[in-house]
Amino acid sequence: MYFVSWPLPPDIEWPKFLRLLRNPAPPPGWLEAASELEDLQKRPVLLRWIAQHPKAPAHLRARLLPRLPWRVLAAVASDSSAHPQAQNFATERLQNLWPGLTLGERRALAPMAPKPLWRLIWKVPDARVLQAFLQNPRLHESGLLALFQAPLQAAQLEALEHSLWREQEAIALRILQLLDETLLMPESQIVLGHAAHWIKVLEPDARLLASTGLRNPALRRMARAHADTSIEEFGL
């Protein structure tokens, strides 16, 4: 039994109740009482606001958070107003759930995923999942560059070529460097044609400079040829 100084449904209309759920200073016992409403038990989207509330008791968070589906957990993990313990739990739970998610679920989660999941997502060999991830509003250039490593995968290159990052010179230069490493690996599934777009992103002088650091002979010749062609076209 809780002492409740704020009303609860059905003694209050649902729109007002939803506003109260986000109030930063609920009276003692009100969140616990709200969590036991039968209608709320069936609505994990609403339970979220109790589970992540900064004033929710730890025992209440511990009871509610494991019941939330992955979509709601993703919202909690990304919400700066949520209690840090709720954010941490949601992030760890998502990491544990990731291996069992379908490709469709991974594609839906990718653009809202918190940073600790980024490396897991980047390893998925599916261009559609990666394209969705590259639209994550929290992803920035340095964060994306930190994910890159050899060997590059065809799905990663395909996703990048269809993303908003496709014209970024820093991205293009790093990809060329990693393509060079990847093409030297005997088990590589990457072909020389994957480099064409990224070479063209660079300015002619940058292409020429980049070619001097490439070890793969065919890639080096390709970068140099594009540089020479551009220099001739622009009379440089």
Domain residue spans in the chain? Answer: 1-100, 106-236
% of the chain with per-residue pLDDT over 70:
94
Q: Is 129 exposed, middle or buried (0-12, 13-18, 19+ CB in 10 A)?
A: buried
| Integer CA distances (angstroms), 198 to 67, 170, 172, 193, in order | 45, 10, 5, 10
CA–CA dist 47, 76 (Å, integer): 11
Q: What is the mean pLDDT of residues 165-184?
A: 97
Residue 27 one-letter amino acid: P
Around Cβ 14, how many Cβ atoms within 10 Å? 11
Residue 24 reports pLDDT greater than 60: yes
Tokens of 209: 């400079």
Does residue 101 register a pLDDT over 60? Answer: yes
Q: Are 121 and 133 in contact (CB under 8 A)?
A: yes
- The yes-or-no verdict on residue 41 having pLDDT over 80 is yes
Q: Are 9 and 39 in contact (CB under 8 A)?
A: yes
- pLDDT at residue 192 is higher than 90: yes
Least confident of 8-12, 71-75, 115-119: 8-12
pLDDT tens digits, one per residue of 193-214: 999 999 999 999 999 999 999 9
**pLDDT given at position 152:** 96
pLDDT at 4: 55
Looking at residues 106-130, what average pLDDT do you find?
97
Q: In whole angstroms, give the CA distance from residue 42 to residue 52.
A: 17
